[in-house]
């Protein structure tokens, strides 16, 4: 009853996980895991769109150059080229699955976002992620070979040692949140598509599920993790006590919205010649700088100079959401603040999405592929999910005949633990972790701030590990356990990079150092064994 056997176990139900599930043949038995409802994912909340070269006036070389420039010298050019070249076919695949993008007469309507030199962002109004997620979920529900398990959170991967010293993944232990029972999922192949880690910060544009589960599990299992110092802060989230950091899409700036100080003065031209269309890292730091300089609670984003009908047509979701909070964006500027948004680092993979552990894949924001470098360019993230979903599919099919069913594994053992006595410990540690990460490891860092964060993180890690070892698992404890691991990775990586580059800005080392600094910040777990 508590053991499930599949050909492919996919942990995560956003664009990355769904892309893999739907591309695999119907002859394979697939388990698709969702931590909450199947629709709840980072993808669902993505507003902007998907970057792809589909316009005759655009070019692959231009998209590559823009991505490399945004990545501040740390992108893997071969990866960038591969992903960009697969952009048009990824859009066609989505259209074939039923995703309806905004059109302008016979052509797809394209918008432009920060860092892009052309209009190349394919979108569905200002709710592209929702259109994609809902459509792909409907397709998954219609497949009789895809078993959907909602309200399940992964605890740890199940591995077997190999004669060569490496490991093979056999599946994972998962907690059924509704029943509080742990299930064993065995599979020939396992894919981590759990999204990012932005919930490690106090303020984030991400949903509550973004707790770095895939990165932490892969790390504990023995995978390398890279570039975790590069956490992207979205510059424009709605500032309102009840809005819970509702994202204001970068597409507004692509259509002419201007960033303003409280007195109405535009300030971005003082920070970058691209002004409001500068990449996100530059814009987020500029906003952070001006807020601290002025002691302001927020700054403003203004598109009210555009015709009201244009705003309502292009940004219906943002318009309606702001109205709910008493802000009419056709007549007044939007109060905004930066918030943690995207994890550029992650589990190290190759072009086939393989990790360091045999039969284990990582896709999407969970993975580090080399596409984003030191900063992710807007709307490249959904493209990465789609392309690497396709690449993982091809690799699984190529290895299918040579991969036997997973071996028997030991059931989950909780015979030596008891029920949690004081859950307040978990909630207190959760709050403390996210606050010191925001204060000390945020948009602007320093050696002293990182040292303070490291000391606090070490204490929390010890306390959480002790708690985990003595009590039965629950959702909050598992998420906190993963978050503290991810926090330590971010702090450690930031301490090792003694320069300012992309999303990582150090007061002690304010200049980029191409001569002395590492290309990648790779963390090796204690149990890492290269295959």
Cα Rg, the chain, nearest whole Å: 22
- Cα 295 from Cα 227, distance rounded (Å): 32
- Cα 404 from Cα 187, distance rounded (Å): 10
- Cα 372 from Cα 349, distance rounded (Å): 13
Residuewise pLDDT in 10s, the chain (531 residues) = 579 999 999 999 999 999 999 999 999 999 999 999 999 999 999 988 999 999 999 999 999 999 999 999 999 999 999 999 999 999 999 999 999 999 998 999 999 988 899 999 999 999 999 999 999 999 999 999 999 999 999 999 999 999 988 999 999 999 999 999 999 999 999 999 999 999 999 889 999 999 999 999 999 999 999 999 999 999 999 999 888 778 898 889 989 999 999 999 999 999 999 999 998 888 999 998 899 899 998 999 999 999 999 999 999 999 999 999 999 999 999 999 999 999 999 999 999 999 999 999 999 999 999 999 999 998 999 999 999 999 999 999 999 999 999 989 999 998 889 887 777 888 999 999 999 999 899 999 999 999 999 999 999 999 999 999 999 999 999 999 999 999 999 999 999 999 999 999 999 999 999 988 778 999 999 877 765
Instruction: Verify whether residue 141 is a known catalytic residue.
Output: no
Write 62-68 long-range contacts (CB < 8 A, 24+): 62/117, 62/118, 63/87, 63/116, 63/118, 63/120, 65/117, 66/115, 66/116, 66/117, 66/377, 67/371, 67/377, 67/380, 68/373
Provide the strand spans (E) within 432-487.
Answer: none
pLDDT for the residue numbered 113? 87
**Is the distance from CB of 46 to CB of 207 less than 8 angstroms?**
no
Domain boundaries along the sequence of the chain: 3-49+125-229+344-399, 234-341, 424-514
Q: What's the topology of domain 424-514?
A: Methane Monooxygenase Hydroxylase; Chain G, domain 1 (1.20.58)
- Cα 312 from Cα 171, distance rounded (Å): 47
* Answer CATH for 3-49+125-229+344-399 from 3.90.1150.10, 3.40.50.300, 3.40.640.10, 3.50.50.60: 3.50.50.60
- Cα 381 from Cα 19, distance rounded (Å): 13
pLDDT for the residue numbered 1? 54
pLDDT for the residue numbered 530? 65
Concatenated DSSP letters of 184-252: EEEEEEEEE-----GGGSSSBSS-TT-S-HHHHHHHHHT--EE-TT-EEEEEEEE--TTT-S-B--THH
Please pick, among 112, 224, 280, 456, the residue that the annotation labels catalytic: 280
- Cα 32 from Cα 15, distance rounded (Å): 12
pLDDT for the residue numbered 131? 97
Q: What's the topology of domain 234-341?
A: Flavocytochrome C3; Chain A, domain 1 (3.90.700)
pLDDT for the residue numbered 517? 78
**Is the distance from CB of 67 to CB of 380 less than 8 angstroms?**
yes
């Amino acid at each position: 009853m508590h053991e499930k056997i599949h050909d492919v176990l996919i942990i995560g139900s956003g664009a990355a996980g769904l892309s893999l599930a739907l591309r695999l043949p119907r002859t394979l038995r697939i388990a698709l895991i969702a931590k909450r409802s199947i629709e709840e994912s980072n993808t669902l909340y993505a507003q902007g769109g998907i970057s792809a070269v589909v316009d005759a006036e655009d070019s692959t070389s231009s998209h590559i150059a823009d991505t490399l420039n945004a990545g501040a010298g740390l992108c893997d050019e071969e990866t960038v080229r591969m992903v960009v070249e697969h952009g048009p076919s990824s859009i066609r695949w989505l259209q074939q699955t039923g995703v309806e993008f905004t059109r302008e007469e016979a052509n797809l309507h394209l918008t432009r976002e920060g860092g892009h030199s052309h209009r190349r962002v394919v979108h569905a109004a200002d709710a592209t992620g929702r259109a994609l997620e809902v459509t792909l979920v409907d397709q998954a529900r219609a497949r009789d070979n895809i078993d959907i398990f909602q309200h399940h959170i992964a605890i740890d991967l199940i591995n077997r040692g190999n004669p060569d010293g490496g490991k093979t993944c056999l599946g994972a232990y998962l907690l059924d949140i509704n029943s509080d029972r742990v299930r064993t999922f065995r599979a020939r192949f396992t894919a981590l598509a759990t999204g990012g880690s932005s919930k490690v910060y106090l303020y984030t544009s991400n949903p509550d599920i973004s707790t770095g589960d895939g990165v932490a599990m892969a790390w504990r299992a023995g995978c390398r993790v890279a570039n975790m110092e590069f956490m992207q802060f979205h510059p424009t989230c709605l500032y309102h006590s009840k809005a819970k950091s509702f994202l204001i899409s970068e597409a507004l700036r692509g259509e002419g919205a201007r960033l303003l100080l409280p007195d109405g003065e535009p300030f971005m031209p003082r920070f970058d010649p691209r002004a409001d269309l500068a990449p996100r890292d530059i814009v987020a730091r500029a906003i952070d700088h001006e807020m601290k300089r002025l002691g302001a609670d927020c700054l403003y984003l203004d598109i009210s100079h555009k015709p009201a009908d244009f705003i309502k047509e292009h940004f219906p979701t943002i318009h309606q959401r702001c109205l709910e909070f008493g802000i009419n964006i056709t007549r007044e500027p939007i109060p905004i603040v930066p918030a943690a948004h995207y994890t550029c680092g992650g589990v190290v993979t190759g072009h086939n999405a393989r990790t360091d552990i045999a039969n284990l894949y990582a896709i999407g924001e969970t993975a580090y592929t080399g596409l984003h470098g030191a900063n992710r360019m807007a709307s490249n993230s959904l493209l990465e999910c789609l392309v690497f979903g396709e690449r993982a599919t091809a690799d699984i099919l190529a290895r299918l005949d040579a991969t036997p069913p997973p071996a028997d594994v030991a059931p989950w053992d909780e015979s030596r633990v008891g029920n949690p006595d004081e859950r307040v410990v978990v909630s207190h540690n959760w709050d403390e972790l996210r606050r010191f990460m925001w204060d000390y490891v945020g948009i602007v860092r320093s050696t002293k701030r990182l040292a303070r964060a490291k000391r606090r993180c070490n204490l929390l890690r010890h306390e959480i590990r002790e708690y985990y070892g003595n009590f039965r698992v629950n959702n909050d404890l598992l998420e906190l356990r993963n978050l503290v691991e991810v926090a330590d990775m971010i702090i450690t990586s930031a301490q090792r990079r003694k320069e300012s580059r992309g999303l990582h800005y150090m007061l002690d080392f304010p200049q980029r150092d191409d001569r002395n600094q590492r290309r990648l910040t790779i963390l090796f777990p204690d149990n890492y064994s290269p295959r």
